[in-house]
Each structure stands twice: as structure tokens, then as C-alpha cells.
Amino acid sequence: MQIETRLNLKLLNTFGVDATAATAVRVRHAGEVRDLLRNRQLCAQPRLILGGGSNVLFTRDWPGLVVLPDIREREVEAGAGDAVTVIGGAGEPWDGFVHWTLGLGLAGLENLALIPGTVGAAPIQNIGAYGVELRDRLLWVETFDWIRGRLQTHYNADCQFGYRDSVFKRELADRLVTRVAFRLSRKPELELDYGEIRQELADRSIHAPAPRDVADAVSAIRRRKLPDPAVIGNAGSFFRNPVVSEAQAAYLRNQHPTMPQFVAYGGVKLPAGWLIEACGWKGRREGDAGVHASHALVLVNHGDATGGQIWVLAQQVRDSVSQTFGVTLEPEVRVV
């Protein structure tokens, strides 16, 4: 078990903001987590689990222990018929894992290509893109229970998945995800009707796409729309798309006829990026904290912004949308 003190987290969060962890532990398998439990001094500290750092904003140093899951594992289990179960360790980079499954000739994760982060973080957020959500493909999640000192398996129905939500963001927020299993297929059933996928494939003269073609198309679309964290610090979409009641949606549609609206979980989903852009925030910046010039839903670090400065900007954007539309935006990014 690798223990570090005063670990700088700048390279461990895609916003690229300076923050320091008092102590950090890198775990490579579940046995090391049990070793950690035996260290009472470490376990007495406030605990934060940090995966790929692609969905977190540090507004201050972390005064306790940061756990860095680095469990690397890839496993294939034969299934019935065309179904195949694949298992990934929590520390596996998500996009690399997706392309590994495609290399095995398995379909199911292609629409989720190029999403940043790790396999372990994917079910926490119930990541989704281009008509597919993780819960559509997930079989089970294995977590480590700190209180009981043992592993527990949570099947799909146990995970309470919602829009960018799961039980791992609420009741089980302190659990360490160790492994995740997916049910994929040798027989592709491609989802092509969301966004620009069909057009991207047509532009590439691909008329009978394979899963890898879909992944390449999705990746190209994402690269055009979203800034690369290696170039400019960001965590992708900062806010969730709000879901409002049908009555509120009708009122807003009457007041703002051009506002896009979509049927969603328990109501009507509004595009947060449209709301932010309509309030005039697209491309604006306060010092080195800014709203991206091409995608209003993405807050960026132009260089030396602190996490606190980015969070102040986020609150200004949230308050502006609330005052204009009566809609409250909630961060999709975890704010520390």
C-alpha cells in the first residue's frame, strides 16, 4: 500500500486547479483496502475517494485522506448465446476499457466512447451519451464496505439509477467501487438515432456501421463539441440538465418559444447549456475562470484560476439562470 503525504492534486483533477491532500493512499487491489482499515491513524481522517479527477472541483485543500483506486483488471466471462459479461477494475481508464471491449468484437459501450474518467466512477454518475446510459449495460457493481470490512455486490436493480444519479452518490457515497461488470453482446444492436451520429457516419461514407465505427463517430463529435482538458482545464458539463414539471415546462415554453424541451425522468428536461447561453454567459470569463466559448455548459480554467474562483463563477451562472427562468441548476461536478 503506497502512502504519500502532502500530495499535490493538480495533475489528478482535469480542472488543473491547485489543491493538496494531507495524506493519500493508492490501492491496487481489495486486499490493500483491508490493510488500510488496520491503520487506525489513517482511517480516523476525513476520507475522499478520487478516481480520474474528471468530475471534481477542489475549492480548497483536503485536510484528510484521499484514496486513489488503481485497481487494474479486465476479465471476460462466457455468457448464454450472444451475451458476454466483461469485468473492469475501478482504476481502468474508461475510454481504454470501451475500446478493449470493441477489440473483442463486443457491442454495447460504443456510444459511451471518449467519456473521461475511470470504470469505477462510471456507475456513480450513471454516465450517458448519445442515447445510451451506463445502466442499460451494467450487470453489477462491487464495492468495499468500510464499516463491515468486506466486499459487497450490487446488482443493477440495487443501484437506484437515475439521470446522472445512483445510490453511490447518496446512501452509499462513501463506498469504494472495486469492480464493475457489464452485459455486452456479440450481436450488435446499434443506437444511431441520437444527435449527429447518423450524419457523422454518412459524412464518412459508412452505410453499414460496426460498433467501432459508432465509437469513432461519437469520439469525433465529442472532440468537436467539448474542449480537451489537456489543452484547457475543465470537467465537461458542469451542471445537470434540469428536469421540471410539465406545468412549469408549458409556462416556460409560452414565455420562451424557442426553448428546447425533452421528455425525461418524471417531467421535462431542459438543456442547461441553452439556459446559460440565453443568459449571456457563453464565452465570458472572470479572470482565468470562464465559460467555454463553444459550449456554455462547460466551465473552464484558462490557466491559473483557483477552484474557489471557478466555483464563484458557477454560482453566478446558477443565480442568473434562476433569476431569468425560475429554474435552479445543480452541479453535475462534485464540488469539494
Roughly how many angstroms between the first and final C-alpha of the chain, as a whole number?
Answer: 25
Contact between 88 and 183 under an 8 Å Cβ cutoff? The reply is no
Q: Report d(CA 250, CA 38) in Å as an integer.
A: 57
Q: Which grid coordinates belong to 195?
A: 444527435
The yes-or-no answer on residue 332 being catalytic is yes
Buried b (16+ CB within 10 A) or exposed e, 95-118: bebbbbbbeeebbbbbbbbbbbbb
Among residues 54, 110, 237, 318, the one annotated as catalytic is 237
58: nearest Cα among 327, 313, 307: 307
Separation of alpha carbons 88 and 70, rounded Å: 11
Does the active-site annotation cover 237?
yes
The DSSP line for 145-198 is ETTTTEEEEEEGGGG--BTTB-GGGTTTTT-EEEEEEEEEESS------STTHH
**Has 40 been annotated as catalytic?**
no
Q: For 72-138, what is the HEC assignment?
A: CCEEEEECCCCEEEEEEECCCEHHHHHHHHHHCCCECCHHHCCCCCECCCHHHHCCEECCEEHHHCE
Which residue is catalytic, options 137, 164, 175, 179?
A: 164
Q: In what order do the strands lie in the sheet with 262-264?
A: 243-244, 267-269, 262-264
Catalytic residue from among 92, 110, 200, 332: 332
Nearest Cα to 176, choosing from 184, 168, 167?
A: 168
- Active-site residue numbers? 164, 237, 332
